[in-house]
């Protein structure tokens, strides 16, 4: 089966599609963790919220492109409010408290979507423009899934340019390295951090929006991706864009092949892979901190 080119092409594309979603989801988690050592377990909830917002937005607007814009912005606003009323006050709390509070938020999110959208699964249509199939290396593959891969890649490149070529990007990199020093230079790192947090939430929402036409939308759809995203963050090295990209690629492909080749051991292969990499690279694949 492994040597069948048809199988290889399709599964690799499936893997890349999962990688793209994981990247959109994990990059916010990773940079936030890198900036303030804060692990927001409710990050997956924002992914789910993105999908539900897309559901409602798709009913309100005809244009998928409008949905693609509006729903993530909505999620970013929710994330921003969450930060201002709750998470901001927890930055100095001990990690156990952070875990408990953000873990609690997962259930609040779950209940909320059940109240608003009901317990049953929903689906939304693939936008007409991307509905068909395309040929990749002679293999037919859904165009929409290719779009997800391209979107992941485009976001990666945009973030890369933003981080490497702008002053704000330099401030974010400096903040991941040594937040105290950035503040001592007269830069309001709290404000910069807030913007980054909202952007990360928006990207998690974007992942939910683009995932919505492929997977069904249901309360709890965030759980399995959250775990994969957490693995990506640890694996890639918290705070690193390249790490999140590389980690997503490895986990997306490994999980996809694991599911089809050894379905009984699907998730075990991922954990084993993570453990193996961390033995050789304890700070993640792309460690960014110089030790503060």
Partner 1 sequence: MPDGALLRLEALDAYYGRSHVLQGVSLSVESASVVALLGRNGAGKSTTLKAIMGIVAPAGGSIRFDGEAIHHLASHRIARRGIAYVPEDRGIFASLTVEEHLSLTLPRAVTRGPSSKEAIYEQFPVLAERRRHRGNELSGGEQQMLAIARALTQSPRLLILDEPTEGLAPIVIESIAGIVHSLKGAGLTMLLVEQNYPFAVGLSERVYVLGKGRVRWEGSPAALEASPEVAATWLGV
Contact flag: residue 181 with partner 1 (CB under 8 A)? yes
Query: Which one of 68, 90, 110, 183 is in contact with partner 1 (CB under 8 A)?
Result: 183
Q: Which is nearer to partner 1, 2 or 191 (CB)?
A: 191
Whole-number Cα distances in Å, 75 to 16, 23, 38, 50, 200: 24, 17, 19, 6, 10
Nearer to partner 1, 15 or 245 (CB): 245
Least distance in angstroms from the C-beta of 101 to partner 1: 24
Question: By CB under 8 A, is residue 6 in contact with partner 1?
Answer: no
Residues 6+ apart with CB under 8 A from 151: 20, 24, 206, 210
Q: Is residue 77 classed exposed, middle or buried when 0-12, 13-18 and 19+ CB atoms within 10 A define those classes?
A: middle
| C-alpha to C-alpha distance for 222 and 46, rounded to whole angstroms | 8
Q: What are 111's two structure tokens?
A: 């209940």
Number of residues that bind partner 1 (CB under 8 A): 22
What is the closest distance, in whole angstroms, from the C-beta atom of residue 40 to partner 1 in the complex?
Answer: 23
Report the residue count for the chain. Answer: 292
Determine how many CB atoms are found less than 10 A away from the CB of residue 164: 11
| Binders in 144-173 for partner 1, by CB under 8 A | 167, 170-171, 173
Contacting range for partner 1; rule: CB under 8 A; set: 49-57, 87-95, 147-155, 282-290: 282-290
Closer to partner 1 at the Cβ: 143 or 178?
178
Q: Which is nearer to partner 1, 184 or 262 (CB)?
A: 184
CB of 287 to partner 1, least distance (A): 10
Euclidean distance between CA atoms 164 and 174, whole angstroms: 11
Quick check: 12 and 145 in contact, CB under 8 A?
no
Tell which residue, 10, 24, 4, 27, has the closest CA to residue 211. 24
* Contacts of 100 by beta carbon, 8 Å cutoff, 6+ apart: none
**108 makes contact with partner 1 (CB under 8 A):** no
C-beta of residue 98 within 8 angstroms of C-beta of residue 38: yes
CB-wise, 56 or 178, nearer to partner 1?
A: 178
Verify binding: residue 135, partner 1, rule CB under 8 A: no
57 binds partner 1 (CB under 8 A): no
HSE-up of residue 149 (Cα within 13 Å, Cβ side)? 17
Binders of partner 1 among 211-230, rule CB under 8 A?
Answer: none
Least Å distance between CB 239 and partner 1?
Answer: 10
Classify 42 as helix, strand or coil: coil
Query: Which of 39, 93, 187, 266 forms a contact with partner 1 (CB under 8 A)?
Result: 187
Of these, 54, 67, 189, 231, which contacts partner 1 (CB under 8 A)? 189
Which of 136, 174, 223, 260 is close enough to bind partner 1 by CB under 8 A? 174
Under the binding rule (CB under 8 A), the answer on residue 49 touching partner 1 is no
Q: Give the nearer residue to partner 1 in terms of CB position, either 110 or 177.
A: 177
Strand partners for 140 = 135
**Residues sharing a CB contact under 8 Å with residue 276, sequence separation 6 or more, in sequence order:** none
Which stretches of the chain bind partner 1, using CB under 8 A?
167, 170-171, 173-174, 177-178, 180-190, 288-290, 292
């Amino acid at each position: 089966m492994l040597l069948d080119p048809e199988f290889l092409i399709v599964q690799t594309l499936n893997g890349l599609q999962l990688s793209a979603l994981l990247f959109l989801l994990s990059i916010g988690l990773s940079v936030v963790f890198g900036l303030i050592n804060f692990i927001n377990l409710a990050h997956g909830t924002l992914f789910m919220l993105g999908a539900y917002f897309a559901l409602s937005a798709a009913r309100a607007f005809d244009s998928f492109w409008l949905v693609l814009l509006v729903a993530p912005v909505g999620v970013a606003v929710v994330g921003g409010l969450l930060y201002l009323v709750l998470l901001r006050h927890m930055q100095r709390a001990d990690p156990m408290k952070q875990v408990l509070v953000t873990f609690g938020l997962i259930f609040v999110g779950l209940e909320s979507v059940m109240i608003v959208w009901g317990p049953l699964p929903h689906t939304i249509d693939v936008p007409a423009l991307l509905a068909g199939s395309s040929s990749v290396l002679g293999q037919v593959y859904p165009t929409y899934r290719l779009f997800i891969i391209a979107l992941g890649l485009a976001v990666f490149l945009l973030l890369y340019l933003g981080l490497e070529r702008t002053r704000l990007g330099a401030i974010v990199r400096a903040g991941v390295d040594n937040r105290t020093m950035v503040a001592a230079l007269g830069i309001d790192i709290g404000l910069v951090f807030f913007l980054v947090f909202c952007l990360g939430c928006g990207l998690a929402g974007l992942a939910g929006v683009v995932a919505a036409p492929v997977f069904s939308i249901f309360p709890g759809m965030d759980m399995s991706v959250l775990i994969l995203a957490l693995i990506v963050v640890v694996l890639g090295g918290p705070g690193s864009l390249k790490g999140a990209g590389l980690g997503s690629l490895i986990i997306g492909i490994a999980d996809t092949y694991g599911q089809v080749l050894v379905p009984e051991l699907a998730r075990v292969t991922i954990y084993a892979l993570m453990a193996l990499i961390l033995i050789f690279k304890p700070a993640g694949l792309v460690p960014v901190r110089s030790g503060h």
